[in-house]
Amino acid sequence: MIDWDRIGPALWQSTVETSYMVSVSMGLSVLLGVPLGVLLLLTAPDGLVPRRVVSTVVGGIVNAGRSVPFIVLLVLVAPVTRLFTGTTIGSTATIVPLTIAAVPFFARLVEASLREVAPGKVEAARAMGASTGQIVRSVLLPEARPGLVAAGTVTLIALISYSAMAGAIGGGGLGDFAIRYGYQRFDTAVTLACVVVLLVMVQVLQSAGDRLARRLAHR
Amino acid sequence: MITLRHIGKTFPATRRQAAVTALDDVTLTVDRGQVMGVVGPSGSGKSTLARIVNLLERPTTGTVTVDGTELTALTSARELNRARRGIGMIFQQFNLLDSRTALANVELPLELAGVGRAERRARAGELLERVGLGDKLGSHPAQLSGGQRQRVAIARALAPRPKVLLCDEATSALDPVSTASVLDLLRTLTEELDLTTVLITHEMDVVKRACDHVTLLEAGRVVDAGALGDVVRRPHSPLATRLLPHPALPAGDQVVELTVGGDGHDAVLTELIRRYAVQVAVVAGSVETLGDQRFGRLQLRVDGAPQDVRAALDYLAQSGAAEAPADRELAGAVA
């Protein structure tokens, strides 16, 4: 039998921590990932402002960021984490590696979504005398909105699973709770409770994301 | 209004294909108020030509001048963007923004030009009304038919009050009824708004319905060009044959071919019969409406006394309407 009086408050606390980590790093990922995705698209050889060097260097960094397994990245960026937050333990500290992992991931998805916008629409805007900045703001981003929302949903869910992984090195949140109480103290009820909460989170976010993307797509 | 001088365009070789010369020494002038049709088979370079007028594609050689500004001489992107606002463009695939309503689509070019919201709204609403979509302001492109979408695109192209309108295969994705109504709309708007229009198409019917001038491109070169009425009267020019086909000729007849219609040539046939003691039989003929004029190409057999037939044929030759096929004996048979 699950002893809710014992688990309840800690479970709630962990859920709040996970939500905090994921939402802050998601916010940062959008802030950094969208411009990065736009940059990747524009500077590509077939982009509006082809810049071979920029495209190769930025693309290389993004690929490097994506090729490091998250659990390794956690350890690898520990000095950066300490620089920003003064510690490597706890949910605030975990935001740094989460963001570093999610930005390149999201940037590639943003680039792919923007690439889906029919080239004719960009051409029409150029014919109207739109500058590159205006094309990005008035054509590419608004037209790619359904794809961007879908990309955001995928990233958000990846962040939830990453954040749980960060629990392995004391990152706080549901993963941390499951490992310390569920795994290390053989309290299967805790593990199960954490899994259920994560499952519900993912389901709710995915269907909300799908619904929003559908509403934005005027097809 | 539009002058292209010695335009050449070569696309450099890529990994997949060798260098392609799309246009080769094309010189073309479109005067104010004209509707110029540019026709040619696919791959003839006509779409490249349209994209060169507003410099979406930069020519390899030659100069582009629109409304007195030499676009090829503009060096800053800002100047070029300003010049492009004076040139509207519509496309085969409409290229409307799916995320915006019809009204917001028409507002877009005004937004880009920094026009205030209230003025934008009013102008966009007025234009949609003008193209017959006054009741569709709030519809998204997905809710509109192909013909309606192209009307929105036309309204959008006209929003910044351009002097030139480029139409790149604007009716090729439309059904015949929508095609006809869109072409008629383009023609009316050209007149009412004092536009100069370039209509790129592979369909001769589009030229017949909407244009007053025509240029034929083949393999990147201008093969034939002129006002519609002039071109059809050069019976063996490539365009005349396409605009007004030579009627099929019954075997064994000796005939003279006559092009009638347009301005001033209507009376030729009447005069011929009235003045000369000959019998005239129409053995074959075809009639076409070009722009708002009707033209016919008739093949006649002229019979009578040899001297009368000779005189009649001389008259026809002088009138400028007749030209006998070069390979055929031009003579009337004696009855």
What single-letter DSSP state applies at residue A137? Answer: I
Tell whether B188 and B125 lie within a shared domain.
Answer: yes
Q: Which residues contact B307 (CB under 8 A, 6 or more apart)?
A: none
**Nearest-CA distance A48 → chain B (Å):** 12
- For residue B133, pLDDT over 90 is answered with yes
Separation of first and last alpha carbons in chain B = 57
Q: Which helix (H) or strand (E) holds A194?
A: helix A188-216
Domain holding A111: CATH number? 1.10.3720.10
Helix axes A91-115, A78-85, angle to 10 degrees: 110
Question: pLDDT grade, residue B251 (50/70/90)?
Answer: low
Tell whether B219 and B264 lie within a shared domain.
Answer: no
Q: What is the domain extent for residue A9? A: 4-216
Residue in A118, A124, A138 closest to B111 by CB:
A138
Nearest-by-CA chain A residue for B80: A129
Question: pLDDT grade, residue B65 (50/70/90)?
Answer: very high
Residue in B99, B112, B142 closest to A129 by CB:
B112
Tell whether B287 and B224 lie within a shared domain.
Answer: no
Strand B87-91 relative to strand B164-168, pairing: parallel
- In 3-state terms, what secondary structure has residue B203? coil
Selected residue with higher pLDDT from A93 and A50: A50
Nearest-by-CA chain A residue for B79: A129
Which of A29-38, A76-85, B38-47, B235-244 shows the lowest per-residue confidence on average (mean pLDDT)?
Answer: B235-244
Asked if B164 contacts B29 with a C-beta cutoff of 8 angstroms, the reply is: no
**Domain's final residue, options B184, B204, B232:** B232
Asked if B107 contacts B97 with a C-beta cutoff of 8 angstroms, the reply is: no
Tell whether B172 and B255 lie within a shared domain.
Answer: no
CA distances from A134 to A148, B84, B100 (A): 18, 15, 16
Domain holding B298: CATH number? 3.30.70.260
**Placement of tokens 């943003």 in the chain:** A110
Tell whether B220 and B264 lie within a shared domain.
Answer: no
Would you state the pLDDT for residue B28? 93
Q: What is the 3-state secondary structure (H, E, C) of B125-177?
A: HHHHHHCCCCCCCCCCHHHCCHHHHHHHHHHHHHCCCCCEEEEECCCCCCCHH
- How many Cβ contacts (< 8 angstroms) between chains A and B? 67
Q: Into how many domains does chain B fold? A: 2
CA distances from B277 to B174, B299, B313, B323 (A): 52, 19, 12, 21
* Cα angle: B225, vertex B229, B230; to 5 degrees: 50
Largest pairwise CA distance in chain B: 80
Residues of A in contact with B155 (CB under 8 A): none
For residue range A173-187, list pLDDT tens digits in order. Answer: 888 888 888 788 887
Tell me which residue of A81, A82, A115, A126 sits closest to A100, measured CA to CA.
A81
Contact check, Cβ <8 Å, B85/A124: no
Question: pLDDT grade, residue B276 (50/70/90)?
Answer: confident
pTM: 0.84
- Tell me, yes or no, whether B181 lies in a domain: yes
Tell whether B58 and B85 lie within a shared domain.
Answer: yes
Nearest-by-CA chain B residue for A128: B85
Q: What is the domain extent for residue B219? A: 2-232
CA B67 – CA B83 distance, rounded (Å): 9
Residue in A129, A131, A139 closest to B97 by CB:
A139
- For residue B335, pLDDT over 60 is answered with no
CA B284 – CA B30 distance, rounded (Å): 36
Nearest-by-CA chain B residue for A140: B97
Residue in A120, A131, A142 closest to B81 by CB:
A131
Which residue type sits at B233? R
CA dihedral sign of residues A121, A125, A126, A132: negative
